[in-house]
A and B are shown apart, each in its own frame.
Chain A
Amino acid sequence: MLSFILRRLLIIIPMALLVVTLTWGLIRIAPGNFYSSEKKLPPAIEENIRKKYGLDKPWYQQYGIMIFNVVKLDFGNSLKYQGQSVNEIIGRHLPYSATIGILAYLLALVVGLSAGIIAALKQNSIWDYGSMALAMLGLSVPNFVFGPILVLFFALGLYWFPPARWGGFGNVVLPVITLSAIYAAYIARLTRAGMLEVMRSDYIRTARAKGLDEKTVLIKHALRGGIIPVVSFTGPALAGLLAGTVVVERVFAIPGLGNIFIQSVLNRDEPLTLGIVAFLSILIMIFNLAVDISYGFLDPRIRYE
């Protein structure tokens, strides 16, 4: 087990470099550059800029310099936001997204798991239909619609919460609810399906036959196996949430990483994009590793060679 974890941790480094390389290639293929604007630049000024950022060197040299720096975990300065290093930008904006993301996921877990379990236990009852209909609502109302509706009623109608911007606890409520809706819905549906699948499997039947009470069967056995799809989903979802969700950040004007990531791609701010991609890929791989490890705990039948 330990060697399995170690191997997986070690492989993260070349993987992240590969992701950075691919992203770098994509940025270079994509049309446009970071410095152009609607006012066309005189060629001399364009040349000054290209020289300043080493864009006049051959591509393999540029790539070499880039990858060498990435290995040192130094992504350099942002092209758009002059004088600010990529590491600094990520460090500064991650806490905002992470706060919102983790709170939203916790809320989604609580709501989603309870709704899913209730629905599975009382399959085809009013509880089942009710919670699944709610879940479906969470899925079919996009967050760019849900957020503004919340703002309209709770911020501009009732004046309970501020409509946007970062600040105290009040500022966090609406974005967290908006963000958690879709995840709660996913989790509810996946839990229900997973539980139903597990509850008719042999080992649950055995557990029941052994005369264990329904509660123990449910929590010790059914739930552990039943939330495997939820766990599979959690890895990448949580990584994505930590890195921010652009729509919610824009609607609520939160200075999170998600918006900055999208903007960096749209601005062709290469160092910033690469820095966030590297960070994100490491995050995703660590989370997925955690997921794979937890499979073993959740379902004793899963073994890693």
Chain B
Amino acid sequence: MANEVEIVKGASLWQDAWKRLLKNKLAVFGLVVMAIMAFAVIFGPMILYWATGFTADGIPENGDLIKSFPPSLLHPMGTDEAGRDLLARVLQGGRISLMVGVISTFVSLIVGVSYGAIAGYIGGKIDNVMMRIVDMIYAIPYILIVIVLLSVFGGQNTPGWIQYLSETFGGAGNQGLSQIFLLFFALGLVSWLTMARVVRGQVLSLKNQEFVLAAKATGVSTFGIIFRHLVPNTLGPVIVYATLTVPSVMLTEAFLSYLGLGVQAPFASWGSLASDGVKNIAIFPWQLLFPGLTMALTLFSLNFLGDGIRDALDPQTRKF
């Protein structure tokens, strides 16, 4: 059985998975695009600035240049209404969007999976209480949570470690960026809920299967059963759900930005660029086209990669 294999030679599972992943063309494509994207958003703004002098917040000094130009050699993605280079904005927006996606999904994975698995496996009263807590958090309007979080911890009250994070990774020691970090946590706070429900549902259906009963009989601890036997078996839906979380969190961020609770101007995110662009879709289509395409390409690759990892981690899939 798969579990025995895992216990006997656990180390080679990951090597096997890696080999299988490399055989999957789409997954490799996804991996390469994600790597390029990560490189581009981390180093792109610096390279672009060095090469052309364009920055995400650089409004041209010449008043005649303050308007939206279509794509050209100088501005491959065109400019926005304030004459800012869209490529620079897309690269900088990628930092925020990818960070939002990664951090929130990470929270959702860690918290959601363990929470759901524990609730599902232990069952009974504990399950009941745990899931009712999830229901409750669902019902509280997250906008309210974000407003309170930003007002209690925002501005001068921003905790030092959030400021440190924003200064170190945000690229600028600016109060606006601390807000986006607060936002990551707020989004993480709500994004794990559905994950917990999905995992619990899976665990409920798995926990009476033979391999779990066998593990119980051989004296494996509850912790061991949950995290060594049950969680690996829920990976399929979990990875799929995690790849679904990334776009949904990015869109939530865009919506919060639209309400004034998200990313601070002059910085942008892909979501906020797209929502700005869509208003002018009939006049300046490039304002939507490029941020939209970049975002779509990233999400596509992420999805292919997610599927690839899922297949690679699961040797049985090859049988179909």
Contact = CB atoms under 8 A, between A and B. Distances in A.
Interface of A: 8, 11, 15-16, 18-19, 22-23, 26-27, 29-31, 123, 129, 132-133, 136-137, 139-145, 148-149, 152, 182, 186, 189-190, 192-194, 196-197, 199-200, 202, 225, 228-229, 231-233, 235-236, 246-247, 261-262, 265-266, 273, 277, 280-281, 284-285, 288, 291, 295, 299, 301-303, 305
B139 A280 contact: yes
Interface of B: 26, 123-124, 128, 131-132, 135-136, 138-141, 143-145, 147-148, 151-152, 193-194, 197-198, 200-202, 204-205, 208-210, 236-237, 240-241, 243-244, 247-248, 251, 254-255, 258-259, 271, 274-275, 278-279, 281-282, 288, 292, 295-296, 299-300, 303, 307, 310, 316-317, 319-320
18 contacts: A11-B128, A23-B144, A26-B148, A141-B296, A142-B271, A144-B278, A145-B274, A148-B279, A190-B241, A193-B310, A202-B209, A229-B202, A232-B194, A236-B197, A262-B141, A281-B136, A284-B138, A291-B201
Contacts of B275: 142, 144-145
Given A194-B237, A280-B139, A186 B244 contact: yes
A30 B147 contact: yes
A149 B143 contact: no
A15 B204 contact: no
Nearest to A192: B240
B209 A301 contact: yes
A243 to B, nearest CB: 10
Nearest to B310: A193
A227 B255 CA distance: 30
Contacts of A129: 26
Given A142-B274, A232-B198, A288 B131 contact: yes
Contact of B254 (A22, A142, A232): A142
Q: Which 5 A-B pairs have the closest CB atoms?
A: A281-B139, A140-B299, A232-B201, A193-B240, A140-B296
Nearest to A251: B278
Contacts of B151: 29-31
Contacts of B319: 200
A199 B193 CA distance: 27
A197 B300 contact: no
A232 B310 CA distance: 20
Contact of B240 (A190, A225, A231, A285): A190
Contact of A148 (B124, B136, B281): B281
A105 B307 CA distance: 25
A197 B123 CA distance: 22
A305 B255 contact: no
B66 to A, nearest CB: 25
Contacts of A16: 139
Contacts of A31: 147, 151
A131 B136 CA distance: 35
Interface centre among A143, A144, A228 (most CB of B within 10 A): A144
A38 to B, nearest CB: 15
